[in-house]
Structure 1
Amino acid sequence: MARLCASPRFVSRWRTDRSVLFSCLCLIVLASAAEAGLYTASDQIVLLSQRNVRSALVNSSAAMVVEFYASWCGHCVAFSPYYKKLARDIKEWKPAVNVAAIDCAEEGNNKVCSYDYEVRGYPTIKFFPAYSEADSTGRPYRDLRNLRHRIIDSLEAHKEPWPPACPPLEPISQAELDVFFETNNVQHLALIFEDVNSYVGREVTLDLLQFDNIAVRRVLKSDHSLVTKLGVTEFPSCYLHQPGGNFTRLRVNFEARAFYSYALQRLPGVVRSGNPPMVLTQIHTNSTEEPWRPFNRSRVYMADLESALHYSLRVEVAAFDVLEKDTLKALNKYVSVLAKYFPGRPMVMNLLKSLNSWLKNQTDNQISYEAFKQVLDNTAQVPHTALPEGVRWVGCQGSQPHFRRYPCGVWTLFHVLTVQANATGGSDHLEVLNAMRNYIRHFFGCRDCAEHFENMAREDLASVDSLQSAMTWLWFRHNRVNNRIAGALSEDPLFPKIQWPSPEMCPSCHTVSESGEHKWKKEQVLSFLLSYFSSSSILTDYLEDETQILEKQKEKHARQQEAAAARKHRERKAREALNSVTLPPSPSPAEEEEEEEEESPQDEAVAYEEEEGEEGAQAASEMEGKSSEPTSWVQTEMDLSRDRRQAPRFSRFAGMRFGKPEGNRGLPSIIGMRFREKRDDIVDLDSFVNQHFKDKALQLAASSRVKQRTLQTKVEQEPRPGFGLSMELDTALGMMGLQPVDVDLEGKGKRRQKRGLAGQYFRRETEMTHKGRWMSALSIGFSNLDISLCVVLYSLSAICLVLMYHFFKNRLKRRPVKIALA
C-alpha cells in the first residue's frame, strides 16, 4: 500500500532529477540514482543500485552493513543523520566493515529490494558477512539502537575461516602474550583490560585496523593471572607492552574508546598503513622547497592568513578573465567580509578597504580581472597600502610541498573571520559563512572539495541562528571533513587528520556520556575557539617587514611603468615606420613658417646649386630622353597629383615653391623669391591681384613643363632657345610689381631647372616665335581654358547686343506716331 501511494511521487521526482543531471553533466554514473536520495558520496556511504548491488554484496572480503530505504519515507529521512554518523564513526573499520545504502524508491531498485532481498518495510538494516553467497538475503537488525555494538557482535559470529581483513576480536591469553612479538612484526602491543560486557577493547582494535606497528588486544577482568601480574585495578584501562617485557600504563583524560584510539595512533612509529615512518631530519632538509620554520602548533600565525589572502585573490580569482553575475557577487561578498573582519596589519587593511570600495563603486555587470588586479597591486600608489605577494606558510606548512598549505590557510582564515565577526558584533550571523560558501563554490580549485562543502551547507546551514552558532557550525563541519579525508593520499603523515581540538590542546572540551561514548562540551569548545582564533592571540613571527614590502611594491610599479613606456615607444616607432612607407605627414603652418624663417633665399640658392652640381648629370640624362620608352601623359598627371598631395601646403606669399618630403630642406623656388604670408584680415586688392597673377604664372610654368613631357618622343626634340621663359617671367613679374631675380636661363642650348615636386626633376625647354612671345605676354596668368571662355563669353555678349539692337529698332518702327495737340 505504501509503495502504491508513493509511486507517482517517486516517478515525478526521478524524472526531474534525471533531467537535471543530464542537462548539467550529460553523464550517467552508477551512483547517480542514489545521489538523488538521502545520501551522497561525501557521507562515506557506499551508494548501491541495481547495477552494482550484487557485485558489492556477493563474495566480498569485507562485511557490509546495508540500509534499504525509500526517499519518500519520513522515518527514513529522520533516521538518515544517525546512519551518516554511524558511517563516520566506524570509518576506520575498513576494510573489515563497509557501510552502504540503496534507495528502494528508485524504479530500477524497487524489484531488487522487494524480491531479491525480501525487504517489506523502510528503513531496514541488514548485515552481510564477508564472503556472502548469491542467495543470501542478509541478517536484519530489529533494534536500530547502538548499531555499532550490533555490528561487532555480527563480526564475532563469523564462522571459520576468519576473514583476513578483520582483526582478531577474542581476548588474548597468557600463552599468546608470551610469544606475541615473535609471531607479529609490531613495535607496540596495547592491552585493554575490561569487563566481559564491554565493547571498548574491540572498538579500539577496529579503530587501529588501518595503522601499522601497533596491535590491540583485550584482556578480560576474569583473567586473574594477567590482572594480578600487572596489578590492574581499574576497568577499563590500557597498558602498553614493549618487546623487552615492560608494561606501561597509557595515560588519558578519560578511560574511553575515543581517548585510547587517539593516544595509540600518535605513539612513536605508528603510522597509517601505506605511509612510511616520518623522519624529521629529512623534512627539514630535503622534503620542502622552503626551509622548515619551527612553530607552535597551538597558535595561529598571521603569515598563514596573509598567504591565504594572496593565493585566493591573485591565483584562484585570477582563473577568471572576466568576473560577472554569480562570480562577481561572490567576490564582492568575500572582499566585503575581509574588509570588515580581517585582523590584519594596517597596510593590508588599507588595501582591503580600498579594494572593497572600488568593487562597490563598479556600476557595470562585469569587471575584468586585470582591472581588479590594478587595484589589488595598488598601481595608484596609495601610501601605506599593500598586500604582500607570495606565500610564507608557518602553521600550515607541510612535510611535503603538496601537503596542507592553502587548504589549511582557508580553514584558518574563515575560523578567524567567524570569531572576529562575533567579537565586533556583526549584524548578520550568516554573513561570513555565506561568503565562504560562495567563495568555495565559485573559486576554490578543488572541485570535489567544493561539492562536499556545498552538500554540508545545503544540509543544515539554515539552522545557524547566531554568531556563536556560526562559529560552532564551521568547527563541526571542519571535523567532518577531517574525518572524511583521514587516511586519504592528501593526508600529511606528520599532521594526521584528527577531531580537533585534541585532548592535549583542550582537555576540558572532551568528556564521555553515561554509556561511555565520547562527547563534546560545546560551551568549552566555544570558549576555546574564541581564545584560539582571537586577534590578540595571532603570532606575527616570520612576517616580512612592512617597509620592505612597500619598497618592493614601488620598485615593481616603476618597472611596470618603464615597460609600458618602452612598449608605447616601440608602438610609436612602428606606426612612424608604417606612415613613412605610405604618406608623410604634412607640416603644420607653424612648422612651415619656422622653416621659412630659418632658411634665407641666399641659403636656398646655395643649397640649390649644391644639389644641382651633385645631381645635374643624372637629371640631364633623364631629361635628354635616354630612356627607351616615352612617358605617358596619364602617368605624368598621376605623378603630379600624387606629388602635390605629398607636398606641404604652399604659402602664397612665401616664394611659391614646390614642396619636398620631410628631411630635404633648401629646395629651389620657381621664381627664386619668398614673401611673408599676409596675416591681416583686410583684403588688399593690389596684393590679391599680385597673388592671383603669381599663382597663374606658377601654373603656367608647371603646365607648360608637363605638356612638354607629354609631347616627348623616343627621339629627343631639338633644343629651343631659352630666352622665352625669361621674357615670360619678366613680363609676369612686371605685372605683379616685382623685380626679377638674376637667374641665368641661357646656356649652350640646354638648361635644366630643378623643381621640388616630390623630389623629381623636370627639364624646361622652350622655343617660342616672336608671335608666341607676344601671346605669352598677353596671356600671362591665364590658362588656355580661361582664354577660350573669355572669347566665347565676349562673342555671346556681342551677339546678344546685336540682337537686342535689332529687336528694339524694329519695335520702334512698328509703333504708330501719335501727335498730341495742345
Structure 2
Amino acid sequence: MARRCGCATSRFTLYPRVKEAAYAALLCFCLFGSAAEAGLYTSSDQIIVLSPENVESVVVNSTAATVVQFYLSWCGHCIDFSPHYKNLARDIREWQPAVQLAAVDCSAEENKEICTTYGVKVFPVIMFFPAYSKAGTVGSIDKGLPHDVQRLRHMVIDKLEAHSDPWPPACPPLEPISQTEVDSFFETNKVQNLALIFENPDSYIGREVTLDLLQFDNIAVRRVLSTEEALVNKLGVTEFPSCYLYYPSGNFTRLIVNYEARTFYSYALQGLKGLVRSGKPPVVNVNVTASSSERQWKSFNRSSVYMADLEAALHYSLRMEVAAHTVIKGDEMISLKNYVNALAKYFQGRPMVVNLLKNLNSWLQNQTGDEISYEAFKEILDNTAQSPDSALPKSRGWVGCQGSQQNFRGYPCGVWTLFHVLTVQASNANGSDPQEVLTAMRGYVRRFFGCRYCANHFEHMAEESMSKVETLSSAVLWLWSSHNIVNNRIAGSVSEDPEFPKIQWPSPATCPSCHTVSRRGDHEWNRDEVLSFLKFHFSSDRILTDYLDDESHVLRKEKRKKPIDRRAREAPDLAMPSLPLQSTVPGEEEEEEPQDEEEEGGQEAVAADEMGGGRSEPNSWAKPKMVVGQRKEQIHRKPRMRVVQEDIVDLDSFVNNHYKAKALQLASGSRVKRRTLKRKEEQEPGPVFGLGIELDPGLGMVALEPMEADNDLDLGQKRHWLQKRELTGQYFDVEPSHRGRWMFMLSIGFSKLDISLCVILYFLSTMCLLAMYLFFKNRYKLRRAKLPLP
C-alpha cells in the first residue's frame, strides 16, 4: 500500500506524465476514432476503434490500462451488448488517464490478424490489458459480460485493483486510508482539499468517486472503511456512506448532498472553489476588464435564458454560416427551407424578428426553382424592401452564452439554446409532427454548421436514436439527452471553459428533483421531472430581454436604409456624372413654395414612413411635381423681377457629359427633356413622377423626370402644349421636322436667348462690315476722281 500511496499521492508532482498520458489518449481518440465508420462503434462513442495501424500504440506499452472488446458486427449478441458498452464509456469518461476503452471488429477482413494474434474465437469477449503491457501479451478475459453499466464499472475497478507492477501513473490509490495517513497527508501532498468517503467494505462508491475526480487538481479523494474506528470516532461518522471534507488545519465538515451516492458526491466535489482540470489555466476574474479596449463582461443569471443569445444565434447562423454557400441548391435548399420554416413557426421572439422570419419563410417557400443565390436570400433577410416592423438586428455580443475568454462558448452555446427553445415551443404548440424541429435541426447542422467534426457526431446520434422519437415530449427529451452526450464527450477538452465546465445538466443544485437513485444506489434521471424543468426553463415568458436595443430604435435604423432600385441594379456601370447645380445671383431671393403644401407633403411622408412603405424619401435636390389632372391652387403674389445668370459652357466637357447622359437615357428608356425656366405659378400641371433623366442643355442637370400620363396626345396637341412654355425643350421620342432637326443640332449647349443674341450680333457685324465696305469704296472712288490735270 505504501508503494501505491507514494506513487498515486505524488501524481500532482508527476503532472507532466499525467498530462502526457491524457494527451496521448486524446490524440488516439481524435486520430483513430474517426477512421471507422462501419461496425458498431465510432469516435462519437468515446471508444477507441482499433485497426492494424493503431493497435500497438493503444495496447502495447501504454501508460493507461486498456479494456478491449472483440466483437462481430453481424453478431446479434454483440449488437445487443453494444449499447451497454457505449454507456460504460460515457459513465467512466473521467477515468481515461487511468483506463481507456477500445473495440475491434473481427468481422472486418483487415482486422482478422488482430483477432487471431490474441486468440479470440468466440464473441463478444472483453480482454483487460494492464498498463505497460509488452508486445504479444494476451490480456485477461472476462467471458461473462453483464448487461448492466454498474456491474461493468465494478468489473473495471476489480481489474485495476488486481493490477500488477507497474501501477498506472495517472491512477490514484484505491485502497482504504488509515488515520495515521490522514494525519500526515498534507505534509506529503500539496492539495487544498481532502475528501474522505466513509463506506462499508463491500461498497464501490469511494473508489468510483476517487476515479471521477482523477482529472482535477487541488483535491484528493480517499475511502475510509467503517472498520477504521479511530477515524470514524474522531469525525463522529454515523452514516455509511457519507463524505467529509478534511482541511490542513485539522477541521472538517460534512458534504451536504441530496442523496448519499456516487454521482451526487462527484457533482458537489467538482464544484468546490479553486478546482480546475489538470492542464487547464486557473479561472480568471472575468467581472473586471483591464482596459476599455477589452471585451466588456456582462453580468447575467446562469439559470436564465436571454433573448440576446437567441437573436445572436439567428444572426450568426443566417448571416455567417449560410452565407458561406453563395449558391444554395439540392439538399441544402431543402434543409434551409425546413430550418427557416421551423424558426417562423416556433421562435417566440420580439415581434419585429418574428415578422422578418415569417417574411423570409414565405419568400423561401415560394421559390420554385432548383437553387437560389445567397444574395437574393440576404436581401429578404436584411429587409431591403422595407417591410413594415421587420428586422433582425446584428449581434451585440453574447450574454448567457459568453465565456471567460473570447474563444469559449459563444455560438455553440447559443445554437443549443435556440434548439431547446424550438423543441419546447413546438411541444407547447401541440405540433403535428414530433420530429419536425429535430429534422430541421439535423438538416441545418449537416449542411451548414461550420464545425464538420461536430456535425458528424450530431449526425451519428441522429442516425442512432432519433427514429425512436414518437411524441413532442420525447423530442424535447431526445435533444436534452443528446446535449448531455456531447457535454460528456468534450468534457476536459481544450475547448472547455474552466469557468463553465461541461457537466450533465441540469445539476442536482439546479434541479434536485431531476435526480434520483435506483434501489442499488446508482444514479438515475427522473425523466418526468426533467421534462417539466425543460418546459419551464425554456418557456417564452421566462426569456429575459436584458442587453437588447429598444425595438423602436432598431426599426428606426431600418427605415433609414434606402431600398435598392431595380433599374439601378440592372445597370450598375452607368454612373451619372456629378454636375454642379445652377446658382443664383448673390442677393437674389428664391421663390417661396406654398407653406401649406409643404406641411401637407411632410405629414404624408411621415405617415408613409411610419407605415414602413418601400419608397425612399426623395433627395434634397428633387422637388416634388404635380400629377397630371391635379389642379393646383392659384396663389396670387406680387410679381418680382428675377435675374437669370447666363450659363458659361465649356463645350469640350459638355460634349462628354452630354453623351454620358444620353447613354444613361438610352439605357433607362426614359424620355429626356430640358428644364423649364418658367415661374411655378405659370406652369401647366406637371406629370407623374418616374425615375428618369432631366437634362439642362446648358448644365446637364439630373433630376426626377415627370412621365406623361396621357401618351395618346397627338403631335399637334404636344406642340401646342410646348409652345405655351417660354423656354421649354422637346422630348426625344417626338419626331422633329427637318428644320427642327437642324435647329436642334445648332442649339446644342445654348438656350434660345443665346441663339437670339448670336443672331443679332452676327446681323450687326454683317451690317457693320457692309457699311465699312461701302464707306471705303466711296472714298476710294473720290480719290481716283481728283487726279491733277497735265
| Aligned position for 2:128 | 127
The correspondence for 1:148, drawn from 153, 171, 174, is 153
Taking the aligned partners of 1:66 and 1:217, their CA distance within structure 2 comes to 28
> Are residue 90 (structure 1) and residue 92 (structure 2) matched?
yes
CA distance in 1, matches of 2:566, 2:541: 42
Larger radius of gyration: 1
* SS class of match (1:238): strand
Match in the other structure for 1:455: 460
2:672 and 2:165 map into 1 onto residues whose CA distance is: 108
User: Equivalent residue for 2:515?
Assistant: 510
Structure with the larger RCO, 1 or 2 (CA within 8 Å, 6+ apart): 2
Aligned mate of 2:60, from 58, 61, 68: 58
For residues 316 and 393 of structure 2, the distance between their equivalents in structure 1, rounded to whole angstroms, comes to 11
Map 1:394-405; keep pairs closer than 5 Å: 394-405=399-410
Distance 1:578 1:232, change over 3 A: same
Q: By how many angstroms is 1:412 displaced?
A: 0.8
One-letter amino acid of the structure 2 residue matched with residue 663 of structure 1: G
Which residue is 2:577 aligned to?
A: 573
Where do residues 68-79 of structure 1 align in structure 2 (5 Å cutoff)? 68-79=70-81
Matches within 5 A, 1:280-359: 280=285, 284-285=289-290, 289-359=294-364
2:470 is aligned, of 465, 473, 490, to 465
- How far the C-alpha of 1:284 sits from its partner, in A, is 4.9
Residue 491 (structure 1) aligns with: 496
Q: Distance in 2 between matches of 1:743 and 1:192?
A: 127
1:23-82 deviations in whole A, cap 9, x for unaligned?
xxxxx9866763211111111111111122122211111100001111111111111111
Q: Distance in 1 between matches of 2:488 and 2:122?
A: 32
CA–CA distance in structure 1, aligned partners of residues 327 and 247 of structure 2: 63
CA gap of 1:51–1:665, structure 2 versus 1, over 3 A, is: same
Q: 1 CA distance for matches of 2:485 and 2:167?
A: 32
Q: Distance in 2 between matches of 1:264 and 1:404?
A: 23
Gaps of 5+ in 1: 1-27, 596-647, 674-740, 749-822
The answer (yes or no) to whether the contact 1:311–1:391 under 8 Å persists in 2 is no
Tell me the secondary structure at the aligned position of residue 280 of structure 1.
coil
Q: Is 1:554 aligned to 2:559, yes or no? A: yes
Question: Retained in 2: the 8 A contact 1:337–1:435?
Answer: yes
Cα distance change on mapping 1:746 and 1:385 into 2, 3 Å: same
Give the length in aligned residue pairs: 597
The SS at the match of 1:122 is coil
State TM-score, norm by structure 1. 0.67
Q: Deviations over 1:452-504 (max 9, x none)?
A: 00000010110000000000000000000000010111111111000001101
Letter of the 1:571 counterpart: A
Q: Is the 8 A contact 2:174 2:222 kept in 1?
A: yes
Output the amino acid matched with 1:382: S
Residue deviations 1:682-721 (CA, integer Å, cap 9, x gap): xxxxxxxxxxxxxxxxxxxxxxxxxxxxxxxxxxxxxxxx
Q: Quickly say closer, same or farther: Cα 1:657–1:251, change in 2 above 3 A.
A: closer
Shift of 1:131: 0.9
What TM-score results when the alignment is normalised by the length of structure 2? 0.70
- Contact 1:70-1:123 within 8 A present in 2 as well: yes
Query: 1: CA distance between counterparts of 2:742 and 2:98?
Result: 107
CA contact (8 A) 2:196 2:245 kept: yes
1:212 alignment partner, SS class: coil
Cα distance in 1 between the residues matched to 2:541 and 2:558: 28
Closer/same/farther in 2, CA of residues 376 and 33 from structure 1, 3 Å limit: closer
Provide Cα deviations, 1:543-587, integer angstroms capped at 9, x if missing partner.
2111111112123x149789979x969723399959859999999
Of 649, 663, 673, 2:749 maps to 663
CA distance in 2, matches of 1:591, 1:465: 68
Contact 1:195–1:235 (Cα < 8 Å) also in 2? yes
In structure 2, the residue matched to 1:362 is 367
Relative distance call for 1:583 and 1:245 in structure 2 (3 A) is: closer
Aligned pairs for 1:159-558 (under 5 A) are 159-280=164-285, 284-285=289-290, 289-555=294-560, 557-558=561-562
The answer for the alignment partner of 1:791 in structure 2 is none
Alignment CA distance shift 1:403-1:33 (3 Å): closer
Verify the 8 A CA contact 2:36 2:49 in the aligned structure 1: yes
Q: How far apart, in 1, do the equivalents of 2:736 and 2:226 lie?
A: 121
Structure 2 CA distance for aligned equivalents of residues 552 and 287 of structure 1 = 26
Contact 2:131 2:166 in 1 (8 A): no
Contact 2:576/2:661 (<8 A) preserved: no
Percentage identity across paired residues of the two chains: 59
Question: For the Cα contact (< 8 Å) 1:584–1:662, is it kept in 2?
Answer: no
Conserved? CA contact 2:71–2:123, under 8 Å: yes
Q: What is the SS of the residue equivalent to 1:410?
A: helix
Q: Which amino acid aligns with 2:497?
A: D
Q: What is the rounded CA distance, in whole Å, between the counterparts of 1:415 and 1:71 in structure 2? A: 34
Change (3 A) 1:388 1:42: same
Match for 2:169: what amino acid?
P
Instruction: For residue 387 of structure 1, give the secondary structure of its aligned residue in structure 2.
Output: coil
Question: Which protein is richer in helix relative to its size?
Answer: 1
* Alignment map for 1:677-756 (pairs within 5 Å): none
1:209-250 deviations in whole A, cap 9, x for unaligned? 100000000101111110111111111110001111111100
Q: Kindly provide the amino acid, as one letter, of the partner of residue 278 in structure 1.
A: V
Displacement of 1:391 in angstroms is 3.5
Deviates more, 1:656-665 or 1:120-129: 656-665
Q: 5+ unaligned residues in a row in structure 2: which ranges? A: 1-29, 579-653, 677-733, 760-765, 774-790
Distance 1:412 1:288, change over 3 A: farther
2-structure distance, mates of 1:243, 1:350: 61
8 A Cα contact 2:574 2:664, kept in partner: no
8 Å contact kept, 2:423–2:475: yes
CA distance in 2, matches of 1:304, 1:466: 28
Alpha-carbon spacing, 1:106–1:591, altered in 2? closer, same or farther (3 Å): closer
For 1:136, give the aligned amino acid.
T
Shift of 1:376: 1.3
Aligned equivalents of 1:747, 1:659: Cα separation in 2: 33
| 1:139 counterpart residue number | 140
* Counterparts of 2:363 and 2:356, CA distance in 1: 11
Distance in 2 between the 1:456 and 1:655 partners?
80
Give the structure 2 partner of residue 641 of structure 1: none
Distance 2:664 2:385 in 1: 36
Alpha-carbon distance in structure 1 between the residues aligned to 2:370 and 2:270: 53
Let me know the Cα RMSD of the aligned residues.
Answer: 3.6
Distance 1:529 1:29, change over 3 A: closer
Residue 38 of structure 1 aligns with which residue? 40
Question: What is the match of residue 102 of structure 2?
Answer: 100
Q: Distance in 1 between matches of 2:661 and 2:410?
A: 59
CA contact (8 A) 1:660 1:667 kept: no
Which AA in structure 2 matches 1:124? Answer: V
Q: Residues 400-449 of structure 1, C-alpha deviation per residue, up to 9 Å, x if partnerless?
A: 11111111111111111111111111001000000010111111111111
